[in-house]
Structure 1
């Protein structure tokens, strides 16, 4: 959410991006990475942590995913 993004901005090295949500975790992660690339936050070799709350009403799990940009 925008509220969570504002709170994360105070942490050093955190560049929060709010993107579209989808019940499919792969689609949501892809949307987050695309949004970060579009803002110029992600470049080749960067390590990115994608955090999301429950993506599907059928799931009680939060998502934390580590990605290295090729």
Structure 2
């Protein structure tokens, strides 16, 4: 996170949201999987777990809301 601040001068909210998302991601795997060991399929599985049904959210705004605000 410190490199975000120096490289792209990210806002506090942006960094906070990234931390929240990484925590949610880690909890999804019950804190048992190292970030080094995570594969593409793991990321897709996580994203599918927070995605709402097409009939409920046809514009997929829910996924964006969860990712960028950290709220589910």
Identify whether the pair has TM-score above 0.5, normalized to the shorter chain. Answer: no
Higher strand share: 1
- Mark the structure with the bigger radius of gyration: 2
Higher helix share: 2
Structure with greater contact order relative to length (CA < 8 Å, sep ≥ 6): 2
TM-score after normalising by structure 2:
0.28
TM-score after normalising by structure 1:
0.28
